[in-house]
Structure 1
């Protein structure tokens, strides 16, 4: 993962505000997500915001797809408080795979606050994204807050 200075901290703080909206549960993380284009937030999401045991990235993507009539604009950056999942125990499609469905033609970078801890599964999201040519950037300095919010209800 690449490290970055404070340029993207404000977006990560907005993603944290989304994560704080999550209904806590002992069996899942509370995560927030933003999808940004040219410095403008196009969509937001948080875990379990939409029906069906949804993740933050899934919610933000579904809302953006709805707003853009089923397609996505190019040149997007995704900010998430936790590494996108690479495995779903619920049977839903993993968030990493959802991002990879659009690939680097749509997503320039994925910015994350913290790697997913191994509380539930061993996440390989960062590796899968990098292997597909999508830049992954760790926004440093918010790890403790991201984990604290993620684990509320645990």
Structure 2
């Protein structure tokens, strides 16, 4: 059941990533926050002003940040551990939010930075899963316009 659930919600995150306007200097990522089987928030890269990331947008759009406590976040790409803009990385936002499980579509390629999102999340006791069946699709969407 968990595998089917993870695939279902990852497809929802992919729908968010597809809304993202592609640029050559960043990935197109989608994220959703799920609690008790219900989608609480959605976000995609650059949806909100100031170069926002998908996970950041989903967290910002929650009606109450306390909803994130014990929730899961589905993101089409590994949450960032460093931002060239100097903004707070998404892994730190996730850790501080109280999210208990992160499900991702694909690890972040070393295109722009060396990402340590998975290991950082695990060090903080957050469960991390990869939906391997959807890696190619997530990477293809993330990298559109990178040719």
| TM-score (norm. length: structure 1) | 0.90
Equivalent-residue separation in structure 2 for 1:111 and 1:147 (angstroms): 15
Q: Which residue of 2 aligns with 1:111?
A: 103
Please tell me whether the aligned partners of residues 113 and 143 of structure 1 are also in contact (alpha carbons under 8 angstroms). yes
Judge conservation of contact 1:47–1:56 (CA < 8 Å) in 2: yes
The answer as to 2:86 corresponding to 1:88 is no
How far apart are residue 5 of structure 1 and its match?
2.9
Partner of 1:78: 73
Deviation at 1:34, TM superposition (A): 0.3
1:40-59 equivalences under 5 Å are 40-59=38-57
Aligned residues: 144
Paired residue for 2:128, among 127, 136, 152? 136
Residue of structure 1 aligned with 2:8, choices 7, 10, 15 = 10
Alpha-carbon RMSD: 1.0
Counterparts of 2:49 and 2:59 in 1: how far apart (Å)? 14
* Partner residue in 1 for 2:93: 98
1:41 is paired with a residue of what secondary structure? strand
Partners of 1:5 and 1:140 within 8 A in 2 = no
| Structure 1 moving runs of 4+ over 2 Å | 4-7
The normalised TM-score by structure 2 is 0.95
Q: 114, 125, 139: which one pairs with 1:122?
A: 114
